[in-house]
Structure 1
């Protein structure tokens, strides 16, 4: 199951996504955390030191390796160099499963012990930071493209989670990655700026079958909650207020997760229930169609010129990513 956390900068999406990862790990749910934000803070929010978080090998820095592995023996892809961020899998491609070892996870993933979760852990993947070498010569989407490729080739199930901390604002709409999730949780503060990102996301996602719920954050009084309800309506799922436990975490003094305030723990349970129900809407055919749709748009917009080949030829028209008959993927009419 793939879950995204989005919101404007400073809304608290990284903090809430890290709380959700801890919530899952505390219940022995296998969880992979992915930092796809331009500001790489997910590892620290999960309890790593700044040095340990910076040492996690970046997916963006291993993009040639990632492409070469995922390409596999797919005859429609001439070389790894002709793969772009939207290249879909087809017959012969190597697919990834969360519960199996693979060279990508071996090279880039790190296991993070989550303090106070009864031995719970999370797998952490990061895009990597925007470095001085990138200034003036690269855009951040060249790094998040590694996450999009990974998600395009991932066969995941209901009882395992991928939790992605996304870029701030509506920047994720610069690619098709916003369609890769079973549920998107938008973290909104009770301010006009906070809900404006929600409206943008809602309007852009309309027509794509995107599951979207709003999590209110920094809600301090009944007026804050009333404002969110007025602005967001039925999309408001739950809200979080002040937390001494979170403040201690942000000061670098984490406490056992069992000490999180009961109201916050109940709210995380509500988020978990909403995420779990969203998997019932998973449609592998539509998922694959959307993947192909955005690949063809990117191919025509810039990919063909960049690579010098017709990237539309990479599409395998009979391939559907998914788990038909327990096989993991299959060839069905798209």
Structure 2
């Protein structure tokens, strides 16, 4: 059996660094399941690996799309599983990395057979949002499925619309709809999570946002203003700066909101991962050595 090592953890915890170390150790390649890093125009705000980091190991699903492209989680599952099969023809072990929980789930478990979008439901929900704002969708989803609401990206209207539509169509919560594993993969999956005290996670997030601003996040967001209505840009780091450009917020306030919303996302990631039972946790202080020791004990070794 082939092996997929999936590296997970909160935003800013050090997943990229660990993935590079493991890829070099196993002389293998890396697939990203970070849905925000798919888009080539959003390098700074999504903490896409640098050119130097990308040169350390072959990467897939990083910057392969434009924000103008439509790309669904279903398309990703199809493309990524095909890429895995191709790479497994020459590699025994591959690395996957990313903090997009549903995208990781799509690869390691497969997507559930959810109904197609219902046009009337979509129209009704879009009308609700246009009249009462995204808060109306947030409140509705929280009342219908508080468990999924605790982990969903609440600032992403597409995720909210989709979940409510599925609930209305099936009569079951979105959590129930996605809870069952649907596909048996023909490779082993080993999930390694990087853990740290919450105050360390938050401190790292705050520092990372400051570094993004120094690296030119403001200019990147300004260049994307013509595309602000597109789904990829309905995300932390961009929506806040768009409000600065609109004159609603000062720049300092917008940056503090990016930090706050990034910390909220990390909290949702922690909530999601806490429910998972098959994660091998390693410390943020010594992730490479702990991961290599763990994988050695699982009898996963570099190819000769």
TM-score, normalization by structure 2: 0.39
Larger RCO: 1 or 2 (CA < 8 Å, sep 6+): 2
Greater helix fraction, Structure 1 or Structure 2: 2
Greater strand fraction, Structure 1 or Structure 2: 1
